[in-house]
Structure 1
């Protein structure tokens, strides 16, 4: 499901852009340039909407672009879209099945000791990601 919300992009003195979503409790983010700010706006919007739906809340109605007023000269009002299905596939907590190959002796030893393969693999992958 795709959602579109207006966002206000403010150019900062250092060239970065701050982004505010008036319809989403003034959700804010920023980016190093306009393209980065737009990508960060999509991520922030997706996370906000994903969490709201996960908690069972009703999503706010999006204002029309004409109704959003930029409070500073030079600010840009733009619509930001997010595909929540794609967002959930990328960031959701739903488990996915993976096939792996290990030596037979390691499989037998782990099974004898009651080792949970999924848990060990998750812990190892998280540790690897944190080490980088």
Structure 2
């Protein structure tokens, strides 16, 4: 499984710590203390890399060290993420979607205690001829 480790800067602020990754412009976060800042930084890094890969952007190689100006403004910490695990989690998360069906059909389905989500998922897999294990 792929593992990426980027250096993050935790910058003290009046109400906590800002987090940024010099290698990944735009990947920022905030936490009320160092522990929360590290956790929120990891979540930001996971989602940032996931989005970049989804957009087919080039993922920059992690730096081994930071510039003097980055080091002067805060605490340097290494944050590690597992992009393949994040991708699997994101692609298999459950999302809501609205559908419209006739009222009589809804009543009939409810009288039979139909699980709409499961039925729609199975029907879509069949319709699209996709063979993927249904995660419950």
Q: Fold conserved (TM > 0.5)?
A: yes
Could you tell me which residue of structure 2 aligns to residue 93 of structure 1? 91
Match of 1:99 in 2: none
Alignment of 1:41-120 (within 5 A): 41-64=41-64, 66-71=65-70, 73=72, 75-90=74-89, 92-94=90-92, 109-110=108-109, 117-118=116-117
Q: What SS class does the counterpart of residue 67 from structure 1 fall into?
A: coil
Structure 2: gaps spanning 5 or more residues = 95-105, 122-136
Distance 1:69 1:35, change over 3 A: same
Q: Is the 8 A contact 2:9 2:71 kept in 1?
A: no
**Structure 1: stretches of 5+ with no match in the other structure:** 97-106, 123-132
Aligned positions, number = 107
The CA RMSD measured in Å over matched residues stands at 3.4
Q: Please tell me whether the aligned partners of residues 10 and 17 of structure 1 are also in contact (alpha carbons under 8 angstroms).
A: yes
CA distance in 2, matches of 1:25, 1:72: 16
Q: Is the 8 A contact 1:20 1:29 kept in 2?
A: yes
Inter-CA distance 32–58: structure 2 relative to 1 (3 Å threshold): same
SS for the counterpart of 1:62 is coil
Give me the TM-score of the superposition, normalised by structure 2: 0.64
- After TM superposition, give the deviation of residue 51 of structure 1 in Å: 0.7
Q: What is the distance in 2 between the residues matched to 1:86 and 1:32?
A: 27
- Tell me the CA shift for residue 74 of structure 1: 6.3
Over 3 Å counting, the alpha-carbon distance change for 1:17 and 1:2 in structure 2 is same
Residue 49 of structure 1 and its aligned partner are, at CA, apart by 0.2
CA contact (8 A) 1:52 1:59 kept: yes
Q: CA deviation at 1:71?
A: 4.3
TM-score by length of 1: 0.65
